[in-house]
Structure 1
Amino acid sequence: MADFEEQTASKKLAGFIEKRKVAFIATLIVFICLLIGYVIFANVANNNKLKGLQAIDEITFEMTDKSSGLEEAEISARLNTAFEKASAYTKKGGIVGARANMLCADITYQQKKYAESADFWKAAAEKAKKTYIAPLCYFNLAACYEETGNNEDAATYYKLAADDNSFVIRTHAMFSYGRLLEAKGDYATAAAAYTELNDNFSDDSWADLAKSRLIALKKDGKIE
C-alpha cells in the first residue's frame, strides 16, 4: 500500500513538473543569468576598485616624489595638480572614495584651508565606516575643527577616535579630548578623561601628561 502511494505521489510530482517544465526551465535560466551577472559585476567592481586605488597611489607619488628640494612655488603647483586629479575620485564609494578624500584633505590642510580639509576628512570617514581608516579620519577632522576654533566639534571627534580600541594613537586622542574639555572649563569631565588615560595606559607618554594635568587641576582647586 505504501509503495502504491509512493508511486502515485511520484507520478503526480512528475506530472506537475512536466506540465510546468517550461516555467521551471525559464526560472533556472533566469537564476543562471543573475548568477553570471553577479560574477561579472563583482569582477568589474573589483577591477574598478584596483584601478582607482592605483590611480590614487600614482597621484600621491607624483605629488611627493623628490619633493624635498623643490621651491615653494613648485610644491604649490604639485599640490594643486594632485588635488585636481584626486577630486575626480572623491564621489566614488568605498575605499577608493575614502582614499581620494583623504588625499584632498591632506592637501587642503597643507594649504591651511582647514574648513575645507575638515569636509574632506568627514567625507572620508563616512565612506570608511567600521574600518581602521575611520578613527584616523576622526582624529584629523578634530584637528581641523580645532584650527578653525570649533572646539566643541573637535572634542566630539577626538572622543570618537579615542573610543576605537584599534586606533594606533588612541592615547593622543584621549589626551586631546581631555585637553579641550579642560579648556572650556569642564574640569570634572576632563579629569575623568585624564584619569581613564592614566589608569589604562600608565606607561604611555600621553598618560604622563594626563597625570600632570590632574596634579595641576587639583593644585588649582578645580577638582578635588
Structure 2
Amino acid sequence: MAKKETEKKEKNESTAEKVGSFILKNRIIFLTVIVVVVLGVVGFSVYLKAAESKTAKILEEIEKIEFNLTKGTAGLEEKDLQSYYSKALDGLSKYTDKGGIAGARADLLSAEILFRTAKFSDAKEMYVNAAKKVKGTYLEPICYFNAAVAYEELNDADNAIDCYKKAVESKDFGDPSHALFSIARILQSKSDYIGAKEYYEKTIEKGENDAFASAAKTCIIQMQIDGKVE
C-alpha cells in the first residue's frame, strides 16, 4: 500500500513538473509577437508610402532606429546593450506621442526595449497606448496580450487578466488558447480553482488539440486529484 501511494505521489509530482515546465516555456511569446507586429507594420508602411508620405517618413525613421539597434547589438551580451537601448529610446521618444500606426510602431518598439531592460511598468503603458492607437485592427489584441505579460511581471494579476481578456475578445487574435490558458493559470495561482477550471475548459474548447489545450486538460486532472475541483 505504501509503495503504491509513493508511486502515485511521484507520478503526480512528475505531471506537475511537466506542466510547470510547459508554462515556463510558453508564458512569454512577446518576442515572437513583436516579429509578427513588425511584419504587419511593414505591410502598412508600403501602403502608407503611397497614401500618406508624412506618416510613411516617420515609419521609415522608426525602421532605421530598429535596424541600427539590431545591427549594432548583434552578438553583444546584455550588459553591453544599455547604451544602444538608451539611444533607440531617445530616438523613438519623438514619435511616441503620435497617433495612428506611426505612433503605435514607436510605442511597440519602445515597449520591447523597456521589457528587455525589465522596466515592466513603462513597457505595459507603451503596449496599452499602442493598442488604443490601432483599435479595431489585428494589432490591438497582440498589444493587449503583451501588456498582460508585462502586468504579470509586476505581479498585477487583475490587470493581467483584464488585458488577456481584451486580447481574447478580439476576433482577429491568432492565439486565443494561449491567452485563455494564461487567465486560468493566474486564477489557479490565486486559489480560484473553480474559475481556473472554467478557463482551462475554455482553453480546451478553443484550442482543440493544441499544446495549451493539452496542458489545460492535465491541469484540470491535477486539480481533481488534489481535491480542488470536481
**Matched-pair contact (CA < 8 Å) for 2:124–2:147:** yes
Unaligned residue ranges in structure 2 (runs of 5+): 1-47
Alignment pair present for 1:201 and 2:207: yes
Output the TM-score relative to the length of structure 1: 0.76
Q: Offset of 1:76 from its aligned partner?
A: 1.4
1:79 paired residue among 65, 79, 85: 85
Output the TM-score relative to the length of structure 2: 0.75
SS of the equivalent of 2:64 reads helix
Alignment pair present for 1:155 and 2:191: no
The within-5 A match list for 1:168-179 is 168-179=174-185
Q: Offset of 1:114 from its aligned partner?
A: 0.6
**Matched-pair contact (CA < 8 Å) for 2:137–2:172:** no
Q: Offset of 1:45 from its aligned partner?
A: 7.8
Measure the CA separation in 2 of the matches of 1:73 and 1:211.
Answer: 41
What percent identity do the matched residue pairs reach?
37
Q: Offset of 1:165 from its aligned partner?
A: 3.1
Q: Offset of 1:73 from its aligned partner?
A: 5.1
Measure the CA separation in 1 of the matches of 2:58 and 2:119.
Answer: 25
Task: Give the aligned partner of residue 98 of structure 1.
Answer: 104
Task: Give the aligned partner of residue 211 of structure 1.
Answer: 217
Alignment pair present for 1:190 and 2:196: yes
By relative contact order (CA 8 Å, sep 6+), the higher-ranking structure is 2
Q: Which has the larger radius of gyration?
A: 1
CA deviation map 1:55-75 (0-9, x unaligned) = 111111010015232254542
Q: Which amino acid aligns with 1:178?
A: A
Measure the CA separation in 2 of the matches of 1:147 and 1:128.
Answer: 24
Measure the CA separation in 1 of the matches of 2:214 and 2:59.
Answer: 40
Q: Offset of 1:43 from its aligned partner?
A: 9.8
SS of the equivalent of 2:52 reads helix
Unaligned residue ranges in structure 1 (runs of 5+): 1-41
Task: Give the aligned partner of residue 46 of structure 1.
Answer: 52
Measure the CA separation in 2 of the matches of 1:162 and 1:72.
Answer: 33
RMSD over aligned Cα atoms = 1.9
SS of the equivalent of 1:131 reads coil
Q: Which amino acid aligns with 1:210?
A: A
Q: Offset of 1:203 from its aligned partner?
A: 1.3
How many residue pairs get aligned? The number is 183
SS of the equivalent of 1:125 reads helix
CA deviation map 1:119-149 (0-9, x unaligned) = 1111111111111111111111111111111
